[in-house]
Structure formats: C-alpha cells, structure tokens
C-alpha cells in the first residue's frame, strides 16, 4: 500500500493558516471536519440576525447598508446602526463571527449599556463608528412578549435560546447604535 503524499497541498508563504470551519455528519455515522485557509488579521465574515417589530426599519454597518445578512468586516471598531419607525415591543440581536479559532464568536443584545438609542433625529454621521452617542440613553430590558406576527415567533424563540436579551424599543421613531470591535480574540 502506498502512502498518501499531502506535500502538494501545503501552502507556502502568503501568511495563511488552516482552521477548523465546521463539521459534517452523514446518516451512515461517518463524519468529518471541514477545514479552510484564512489570513490572520484579514477581513472576517459576520452573520447578523435581528428581530424587531416595527412599521419600517433601516440598518447600517459602518454607515453602509449590508447587502445580505452575512457581511465581511476588517478588524477594528464598527457600529451597527438602526432607524426604526413606530417600533413596538422588543429588539433582539445576534452577531456571530464565522472564524472559529477565536475566544468570542458571538455578540448579542444585552443590558451592558452599549446598546444606545435616541428618539431625536441625530446629526450627520450617526451611522459611523466615530460618532459621539454619549448623550443617548442605554436600552433597557423589555417585558414584551413574542412579536405580533406569529410567523416570526420562531426567530424570537431562537434568539432567546441563544442568549439574546429583549431590549425595549417603543415610540414613534427611534435611532439605535451598538458599537463593537473585532480583534484577534473575536467580537467585543
């Protein structure tokens, strides 16, 4: 029996590292590990899930409207910004890094004071990380129950199970910000 030569698969230079990406299981019981090459310090994929009951909503990450619920972000400080029209009840949020080899891969809505809001139209640049939101109020816990639309209840339940805290979002209009950081240790 001959040995399998994996030397042809080695990456040389270019600063890439091999990391565990996910697992696959098949009905027969044999599974495997899926690996991928990543560039340390390079952009990372971030998944975003939100549950908001509002008449209208707009979302930005670093001042840009994301094209889908997965976006690629460089290391550094970022801001998730929302404008809600006639919000009712609660906001639940969940962000997850696709990179597995870090300490903190998830960031959720919480009562840590970093989720901030104002009912007054903010000045220009409010969707960018360097905007000063220190005069904005931190969001508080919501005693709200599931969303009015029962078709969305599964997402609300899933976010609660994952550890997201429902945050109160009521009023005619509301502007929200959550500043976060991505570094070698994950989401902060």
**pLDDT at residue 121, as a whole number:** 96
pLDDT at 82: 94
The alpha carbons of the chain give a radius of gyration, in whole angstroms, of 20
Alpha-carbon distance of 167 to 139, in angstroms, equals 6
CA–CA dist 21, 149 (Å, integer)? 35
Residue 116: closest CA among 82, 142, 149, 146: 82
pTM for the whole structure: 0.75
Taking the C-alpha atoms of residue 119 and residue 172, their distance in angstroms, rounded to an integer, is 8
Q: What was the pLDDT predicted at 173?
A: 94
Predicted pLDDT of residue 11: 52
Name the residue ranges covered by the structural domains of the chain: 7-38, 44-187
**Tens of each residue's pLDDT in the chain, 188 residues:** 455 555 555 555 566 666 665 656 555 556 666 666 666 777 878 888 888 888 889 999 999 999 888 888 888 999 999 999 998 888 888 888 765 555 667 888 889 999 999 999 999 999 999 999 999 999 998 876 667 777 778 888 888 888 888 998 888 999 999 999 888 777 77
130 closest CA partner among 184, 81, 96, 72 = 81
């Amino acid at each position: 029996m001959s040995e399998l030569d994996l030397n042809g698969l080695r990456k040389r230079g270019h600063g890439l590292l091999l990391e565990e990406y996910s697992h696959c299981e098949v009905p027969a019981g044999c599974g495997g590990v899926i690996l991928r090459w990543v560039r340390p310090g390079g952009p990372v994929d971030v998944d975003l899930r939100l549950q908001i009951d509002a008449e209208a909503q707009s979302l930005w990450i670093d001042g840009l409207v994301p094209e889908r619920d997965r976006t690629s972000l460089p290391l550094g400080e970022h801001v998730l910004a929302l404008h809600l029209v006639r919000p009712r009840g609660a906001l639940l949020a969940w962000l997850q890094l696709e990179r597995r080899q870090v300490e903190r891969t998830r960031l959720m809505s919480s009562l840590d004071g970093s989720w901030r809001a104002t009912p007054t139209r903010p000045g220009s640049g409010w969707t960018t990380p360097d905007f000063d939101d220190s005069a904005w109020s931190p969001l508080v816990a919501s005693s709200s129950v599931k969303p009015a639309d029962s078709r969305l209840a599964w997402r609300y339940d899933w976010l609660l199970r994952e550890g997201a805290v429902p945050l109160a979002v009521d009023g005619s209009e509301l502007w929200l910000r959550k500043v976060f950081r991505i570094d070698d240790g994950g989401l902060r």
